[in-house]
Structure 1
Amino acid sequence: MGFQFQFAPVFARSDVLLEGALLTLQLSGIGILFGALLGILLAMLRGLSPPALRWPVDAYVELVRNTPFLVQLLIIFFGLPSIGVRLTAEQAALSAIILNLGAYSTEIVRAGIESVHRSQIEAGLSLAMTRWQVFRYVVIAPAIARVWPALSSQFVLMMLSTSVCSFISVQELSATAANVESDTFRSFEVYITVTLIYLGLALVMRGLLAVLGAVMFPKGSGLGRLRTQASR
């Protein structure tokens, strides 16, 4: 007996899948914004602080990057209430996304900062620029331009990783897909549809990040050339 695709029951629940996709985008957008800001801030702190003050940042980065995202999510949602910190499922998911992405962004931006040659910093100081101006224009801006393709890839991966949040009953795309599957019993069709939705979201996000990179680091400028070279 041959298998027959039946997408009609799945499409009839498209409103549920759309709500899940919208929540996925909301979690991803807020998480990426604050996670990237946290990563840049910690990378700058690493660069400006004496070695003795860098170990908390190093410990945070190593802890997050060497433990599963799911474990971090479960600790925040189920562990924090034991010490009196109670978060909703959405708040716990967003906190985990920000902390996880912040650690990876810190390491990526750190690599960009270390790629700036010492002679460029000395040249900036010789032009009577303040240390803050040197760090802002000579160090951090070129560093972010150089690692923008890597950051963009990490942002897309983080968006896809939001599917893990279904483990704490966050009704994002994967969780709503499971609900639709249990209602329709069309597992293959549901997850083919969800796969295509995730693929579309990833491609759209990658395109938007490319446009954002082109706006922040215009083609033809020095920063634009750094971004182009890094993407090859």
Structure 2
Amino acid sequence: MHYVFHFGWISEYYPIILKGIGVTVELTLVGGLIGISLGMVSAWCRTLGPKWLSAPVGVYVELIRNTPFMIQLFFIFFGLPSIGFKLTEMEAANLAMVVNLAAYACEIIRAGIEATPKGQFEAGAALALKPLQTFRLIILIPALQRIWPALSSQLVIVMLGSAVVSQIAAQDLTYAANYIQSRTFRAFEAYTVSTVLYLLLAILLRQLLALIGSHLFPKVTTR
């Protein structure tokens, strides 16, 4: 079998590729910033917060971590409208990214908190700090310092997992690849380009997170 590779279509379809990259980056930024923030709050609830908050947060974390991301996405986009909550493709995709990452970030950050020496908690008590103040001023930064590489890896995994949002017609990079191959019938070339672009995005994201980590935690190697 003789196959002739052809990438001439890139000049015609590069706008949709760029749009797909932009959507994937947007999903990663929104999911990362809000998801990690909610993960911190959830980790506090499970470790240092009121007991009445720990149980429901624990149920949420286990529910999200033990169900497929695609099912979560479909539930948000197709299920919620049934009870009156209608979302656009991008709203549903962003919400699914946030909900998913927050659950995983919660457990990663919780591991960092639980590895904190008891002396730091005692220092907060000695300074008459409230539990939330102790967490924010004494515990949080060292905890993040311990788990930054794991948290960075999880964010990259979530970015790559965002490819499934194309299933609800969110116009990310995978949607662009599907669209192009359906028009050009050049599936090998279309998915080769998308694979290379995802690889570059993952490498750039890792480098960016390593750079952020080196500034936030200069004594820790984040690579």
TM-score range, shorter chain: over 0.9
Q: Match for 1:188: what amino acid?
A: F
- 1:48 Cα offset (Å): 2.4
The residue aligned with 1:78 is 78
Offset from partner CA, 1:194-228 (integer Å, 9 cap, x none): 000000101111111111111111x2xxxx3xx33
1 CA distance for matches of 2:134 and 2:29?
Answer: 30
Q: Match for 2:40: what amino acid?
A: I
Offset from partner CA, 1:178-200 (integer Å, 9 cap, x none): 01001111111111110000001
1 CA distance for matches of 2:195 and 2:42?
Answer: 34
Are residues 1:94 and 2:61 paired?
no
The residue aligned with 1:130 is 129
Offset from partner CA, 1:140-183 (integer Å, 9 cap, x none): 11001111111111111111111100110111100111010011
Q: Secondary structure at the match of 2:95?
A: helix
- 1:16 Cα offset (Å): 1.2
The residue aligned with 2:197 is 197
1 CA distance for matches of 2:185 and 2:9?
Answer: 9
Q: What is the aligned length?
A: 222
The residue aligned with 2:27 is 27
Which is worse superposed, 81-90 or 129-138? 129-138
Which is worse superposed, 92-101 or 11-20? 11-20
1:22 to 1:71, Cα distance in 2 relative to 1, 3 A: same
Instruction: Give the % identical residues.
Output: 45
1 CA distance for matches of 2:124 and 2:53?
Answer: 26
- 1:136 Cα offset (Å): 2.2
The residue aligned with 2:160 is 160
Query: Unaligned 5+ residue runs, structure 2?
Result: none
Q: Match for 1:158: what amino acid?
A: V
Q: State TM-score, norm by structure 2.
A: 0.94
Q: Secondary structure at the match of 1:193?
A: helix
- 1:11 Cα offset (Å): 4.2
Please provide the CA RMSD for this pair. Answer: 1.5
- 1:2 Cα offset (Å): 1.7
The residue aligned with 1:117 is 117
2 CA distance for matches of 1:141 and 1:93?
Answer: 30
Q: Match for 2:55: what amino acid?
A: W
